[in-house]
Amino acid sequence: MLGVAVGLALSTAIDIHANLPLLCGSPADHLSLNRIAASWQFLLMINPPTTLALAWLTMLVAMMTPLIALPLAHVRASSLFARRWRASAGFLLGYFCIWGIAGMPLLLAAFFLRLVAGSVLVAFLLATLLALVWSASPIQQAAQNRAHRQRRIGLFGLAADRDCIMFGAAVGGWCLVSCWTWMLVPFFVPFGHVFAMIAVSGIVLAERLRGPGPVRWRTPVVLMPLVRRWEAFALHGLRGGEGSHV
């Protein structure tokens, strides 16, 4: 929880235009090469690369920390007492290296989605729809299953360090495949960016806590309350209809 609090505090303090502003023009102009290049330069001008990198790091700390509690506990439990901090550091290094490398591709994906959408609101709706479809897909469930797999951690020397780093990288990689679409959503929230991060973090955590399952299409976790409410309503209506015929 400390990592989440620190990440949210730093994200609040960093002045970043998270809604990916573009140059003015018609939607058709946004898809021209000159307009794409100019918009990208404009984005980097108001959000320097160092600021983007720092914002991405704090965003990761705030949103991903709850997801690694169980694998990190496995690393610590599998390591000698004297090596637990070192093992934890290796796991975190592997995990956040994967997510750190993914920062620029995800920013580019959000940038082009913003170009295609033509407005922040449409981009937000498209990103949310994409995240819901991905969360329901068999690919996402397969990635979730792999993210839950544990692996043997060595006890001594460089082999133990390698195992911790590789395990962190593996968990980070499958976590990235599982929830990359949800990470796009906060880019299109012009105000209340921190609250959007909290909401997305809660959704991703809920998906992780659902655990492994059959690789098939299923209802996204975030829609489960609506589905259950609809099922209860339908069941109540069915029973009411049966009662009227008695």
Reported residue count of the chain is: 246
Query: Is the residue at 242 inside a domain?
Result: no
Number of continuous H segments (helices) and E segments (strands) in the chain: 11, 0
Across 7-16, 182-191, 220-229, least confident range: 7-16
Residue-wise pLDDT for 189-208, tens only, equals 877 777 888 899 999 999 99
SS3 206: helix
Q: Are 114 and 123 in contact (CB under 8 A)?
A: yes
Asked whether residue 163 is assigned to any structural domain, the reply reads yes
- Whether residue 233 is contained in a domain is answered as no
Contact by Cβ (8 Å): 31, 114: no
Query: Where does the pLDDT of residue 18 fall: very low under 50, low under 70, confident under 90, or very high at 90 and above?
Result: very low
What is the pTM assigned to this prediction?
Answer: 0.85
Number of structural domains (the chain) is 1
Domain span including residue 114: 2-215
Q: Is residue 10 part of a domain?
A: yes
> What rounded mean pLDDT belongs to the chain?
84
| 244 belongs to a structural domain | no
Whether 235 is in a domain gets the answer no
Q: What is the token pair recorded at 74? A: 């496995």
Please report the pLDDT score of residue 40 as a whole number: 78
Residue with more model confidence, 49 or 137: 137
Q: Does residue 243 sit within a domain?
A: no
Is residue 223 domain-resident?
no
Q: Which residues, other chains included, contact 171 with Cβ-Cβ below 8 Å and sequence gap of 6+?
A: 68, 71, 91, 94, 95, 147
Contacts of 189 (CB under 8 A, 6+ apart): 18, 19, 124, 196
